Amino acid sequence: MSGSIEDQSLSFYLKRLTIVQIFLAYVFLVTGLCVNLLQLLSACFIWPFNRGLYRKINYHLATIIWSHKAVLERDLKRLVDDYPKDYNFTLFLSCEGTRYSNEKRLDSMKIAREKGLPELKHHILPRTKGFVLIMKGIHQHITAVYDITIAFQTPKNPELSNLLIGQRCQAEGFIRRIPISEVPYDDEEKSAQFVHKLFQEKDQIFEYFLQHGTFEGAGNPKAIDLKRKKQDLIIEISCLIIIGLPSIYLLIKFLLFGSILSQIIFLFIVMAGFLGVRLMVQTSARPKLVSKSVKQE
């Protein structure tokens, strides 16, 4: 009943309007550029004089918009050596090294059979070299490794197309803490075996989720409900007010008083933005060959 009411609401139709989606994408991109500009200014004027303040500022800037940087072996060691003492950090590693598709999984299972490894039903065979390299570089600076498995309980996948129209995606995560003492970081072969065994266990955990619609049960701990952060809503509303409202005013003024040529150029820019959003949607779309979603009755 609640689903039908939501589908007929005004917000449901507004979120599906192309102009609304382009506006939100515009605010997102401009916000990202502003944050990157602030990061550049802080690197030029704060980093040379106060590195601690620079890191604190960029920590909060990263909360607004996420950006990542790939590092090589030499850069990783330099990063760890230069990292200040008693500063916390999180390093995320996806051992699959690529986006999931059923075709990629089947190809990786051919390699698994050649290497005599158990086949995985829901994961791609992990690539172990990156994990081995990182553990060698940072094992002295961390106390544990956290294994995270995330599954979605709703029939809507977390794709950009669904997010743009405000579709709700409910996720459930299974997190295990593995002390660094249990990770064989000093032996490449044992470290690789550790990763393969970990993914075999992850596959079993995800299979349990598909059968029961939850990670709870079978000895697994009780789920903890994570509340939504008001900070995220405040940031989004602030960006819409600071960037969105002035942009609407300037747009109206431009359309009323701008020349025909400038209006035609603006039309082409809007069309390019529309095509850009559609391209992003297609890029983020998951292959339809397999679905990892679970629908709750």
Nearest to 61 by CA among 85, 81, 31, 88: 31
Q: How far is CA 88 from CA 61, 214, 232, in A?
A: 16, 31, 22
Mean pLDDT of the chain: 77
Residues 6+ away with beta carbon under 8 Å from 21:
15, 164, 165, 277
Residues 6+ away with beta carbon under 8 Å from 230:
none
Q: Which of 75-89, 130-144, 202-216 has the lowest mean pLDDT?
A: 75-89
Answer whether 0.75 is exceeded by the pTM.
Answer: no
Identify which has the larger pLDDT, 162 or 34. 34
pLDDT over 60 at 165, yes or no: yes
- Tell me what pLDDT residue 3 has: 45
Q: Which of 24-38, 43-57, 129-143, 150-164 has the lowest mean pLDDT?
A: 150-164
Give 279: exposed, middle or buried? Use CB within 10 Å, 0-12, 13-18, 19+.
Answer: exposed
Give the model confidence (pLDDT) of 52-106 as tens digits. 888 888 777 776 655 433 344 555 566 666 666 666 777 788 888 777 777 888 8
| Most confident region among 7-16, 116-125, 254-263, 281-290 by mean pLDDT | 116-125
pLDDT over 50 at 142, yes or no: yes
- Tell me what pLDDT residue 296 has: 35
Average pLDDT over residues 123-130: 86
- Tell me what pLDDT residue 194 has: 92
Residues 6+ away with beta carbon under 8 Å from 88:
none
Distance from C-alpha of 290 to C-alpha of 296, rounded to nearest angstrom: 18
Tokens describing residue 181: 């003492």
Tokens describing residue 233: 């809503």
Tokens describing residue 217: 């049960």
| pLDDT bucket at 200, cuts 50 / 70 / 90 | very high
Report CA torsion sign: 198, 194, 181, 140: negative
Task: Report the percent of the chain where pLDDT is more than 90.
Answer: 6
Coil, helix or strand at residue 9: coil
For the chain, give the number of residues: 297
- Tell me what pLDDT residue 8 has: 54
Average pLDDT over residues 277-289: 63
| Phi and psi, residue 151, nearest 5° | -135, 155
